[in-house]
Structure 1
Amino acid sequence: MFGQKKTESLARDLKANSINIIGLGTEISGDLITKGDIRIDGKIVGNIQSKAKVVIGNTGEVIGDINAESAEINGVVKGNINTIETLFLKASANLIGDVSSNKLVVENGANLTGHCQTGISQTAKQISINDGKGTGKREATA
């Protein structure tokens, strides 16, 4: 009983305080899985899964899919984006892929080549989340 509350509290603290940054000049090949926020100013060739916010900076490039609670795109994404909450496409964004999000905000100047599906209920949407233990996946209702 007390252990579960401590674990839940720790998970909230980790999410609130965890900010990961992939800097300019860094290139990573492979999938990224995080429970916290992540900012990409370098290049990722692989999928990104986050239970928090994903930010792709002006110099950032992702070749792969993004699954997150929310996302803000300033750079280049070549892949599909699925968000539970809001996807922001800033003026400098260049997205080639499909979008599935509860809310979509597109600034003047953003480029989007693909299909959009918005207004998805948070309770109905499911995102496949790798639990980070081996190759097993589990389905989590958002």
Structure 2
Amino acid sequence: MGFLTDDISINTIIGLGSAVSGDVHANGFIRVDGDIDGNLESTGNIIIGDKARINGSITALSIVVGGIVLGDIYAPNGIKLLSSSAVIGNIATRKLEIEENVIFHGHCIALKKEEEFNQASEQFSNEMSIRSKAI
């Protein structure tokens, strides 16, 4: 978890047994152990616990996933998929770590150089927008 060392104080916790319906926007470090039916966005880092379920896209500086995510994940500083995780969606990051037994179904952009990453992310985002509008 080398990319989570900058800010270790958790600002927001969605605990086990909690459920949120709608988009969540928060500043700082977020830990999710419950369920979210909506997009999750943070200005900092996010940890998705192994019992968490998210039906929506996730955007943060870095993300560690231990639970289930049905949606795209964007984290330029890094993404780590733990062995208990399942991700059905696309991933875009500059640093990717995947443990054994992870379920991942989607496209992945993982380019270390910032300029190449930004260009590829923008191009992929444009392509996905066009595909979503196609009949």
**If the TM-score is normalised by the length of the shorter chain, which range does it land in?**
0.7 to 0.9
Structure 1 gaps, min length 5: 1-14, 128-142
- 2: CA distance, partners of 1:16 / 1:89: 19
Matched, 1:90 2:82: yes
Where does residue 114 of structure 1 map in the other structure?
A: 106
Deviations 1:105-137 (A, max 9, x none): 00011110101011164466399xxxxxxxxxx
CA distance in 2, matches of 1:17, 1:55: 12
Task: Give the distance between the partners of 1:18 and 1:79, measured in 2 at CA.
Answer: 23
Q: Residue 43 of structure 1 aligns with which residue?
A: 35
Letter in 2 for 1:118: A
Q: Identity across aligned pairs (percent)?
A: 34
The total of aligned residue pairs comes to 113
C-alpha contact (below 8 Å) 1:85/1:122 kept by paired residues: no
Cα distance, 1:19 vs structure 2: 2.3
Using the TM superposition, give the Cα deviation of residue 51 of structure 1 relative to its aligned residue in structure 2, in angstroms. Answer: 1.3
Determine if the alignment matches structure 1 residue 23 to structure 2 residue 15.
Answer: yes
Question: What amino acid is the match of 1:125?
Answer: N
| Runs of 5+ unmatched residues, structure 2 | 1-6, 122-135
TM-score by length of 2: 0.77
The structure that is strand-richer by fraction is 1
Which of these residues, 122, 125, 128, is aligned with residue 118 of structure 2? 125
**d(CA) in 2 for partners of 1:83 and 1:40?**
16
Contact 1:70–1:84, Cα closer than 8 Å, also in 2: yes
Distance (Å, rounded) in 2 between the aligned partners of 1:120 and 1:29? 34
Query: What RMSD in Å do the two structures reach over aligned CA positions?
Result: 2.0
More helix by share: 2
